[in-house]
Amino acid sequence: MSKDMTISVEPCEQVYAATGLLAALPPRRNGATLYVCDFDNTVATEDVGDRILERFGGPDWIDWSLRYRRGEIGSRECLTRQYESFRADWDAYRRFVEEYELDPDFPRFLAAVRARGHRVIVVSDGVGNYISILFEKYGIAGVPVFSNYGVWNGDGRVRLQFPHFQPACEVGCANCKFRHVRLDGSGRKVYIGDGVSDQYGAQAADVIYAKDRLRDFLAARGVPHTAFSRFADVIVAEGLED
């Protein structure tokens, strides 16, 4: 993957144009909004995926992350390398994850969006088994989550699954976030995220709320976006207050 490929969504568009999926898309439904939320450091107050690797991964996990952030490898390769040395008993993993928190206003955001007949989905390029653990902790149900997953072997090792990988794409994202945004038929699409893995998915949306690395990325390339730091900001900006 060359540096230039991180500049636009052109490679993503080309991949899906070649599959014929874009030409076959039905007209976008007016009135309905799709809110696409990244999970780590967006819905969750921290990067839970990184904290898990820090605790249960090998010492080189951060080196792979840095290579990924520099655009040298895709996230699928990054996760695959990082999880080669991952060892965690499921119960210990679960207890560790349960200590983390969601943005305190995410449940209010979710309720307000649903009350207006709109939708929320979560897209994560982590190994997202922890998402359902945290949603359960907060009593959140019925939010579609698109993520990579791990299957626990008896010895604490994890076999990774990438159900949303796009093999025809050269970028190498483990979970193609672009697909979840671009191929949805909602009339208006809003993206909320913070990181490198959000750069393509965000640019397929009509409105972007960005912080941290995603904000820097978009600002450097002149892509219009709104800065945010927490869901309370999104609630106000989207007029979702009660």
Residues making contact with Mg ion (CB under 5 A):
38, 40-41, 194-195
Q: 33 vs 42, which CB is nearer to Mg ion?
A: 42
Q: Give the shortest CB-110-to-Mg ion separation in angstroms.
A: 18
Residue type (1 letter), 28: R
Q: Give the shortest CB-40-to-Mg ion separation in angstroms.
A: 4
174: DSSP letter: S
Question: Are 180 and 166 contacting, i.e. CB atoms less than 8 angstroms apart?
Answer: no
d(CA 78, CA 107): 31
Q: Give the shortest CB-156-to-Mg ion separation in angstroms.
A: 26
Q: 16 vs 65, which CB is nearer to Mg ion?
A: 65
d(CA 205, CA 213): 18
Q: Give the shortest CB-81-to-Mg ion separation in angstroms.
A: 19
Q: 128 vs 150, which CB is nearer to Mg ion?
A: 128
Q: Which residues pair with 186 in a beta bridge?
A: 29
Q: Give the shortest CB-224-to-Mg ion separation in angstroms.
A: 20
Q: 172 vs 201, which CB is nearer to Mg ion?
A: 201
* E strand or H helix at 136: helix 129-137
Q: 28 vs 212, which CB is nearer to Mg ion?
A: 212
Question: Are 126 and 175 contacting, i.e. CB atoms less than 8 angstroms apart?
Answer: no
Q: Give the shortest CB-102-to-Mg ion separation in angstroms.
A: 13
| 97-122 b/e (C-beta count within 10 Å ≥ 16 → b) | beebebbebbebbbebbeeeebebbb
Question: Are 130 and 39 contacting, i.e. CB atoms less than 8 angstroms apart?
Answer: no
Q: 40 vs 184, which CB is nearer to Mg ion?
A: 40
| 141-179 b/e (C-beta count within 10 Å ≥ 16 → b) | eebebbbbbbeeeeeeebebebebbbeebebbbbbbbbb
Q: Give the shortest CB-18-to-Mg ion separation in angstroms.
A: 29
Q: 38 vs 184, which CB is nearer to Mg ion?
A: 38
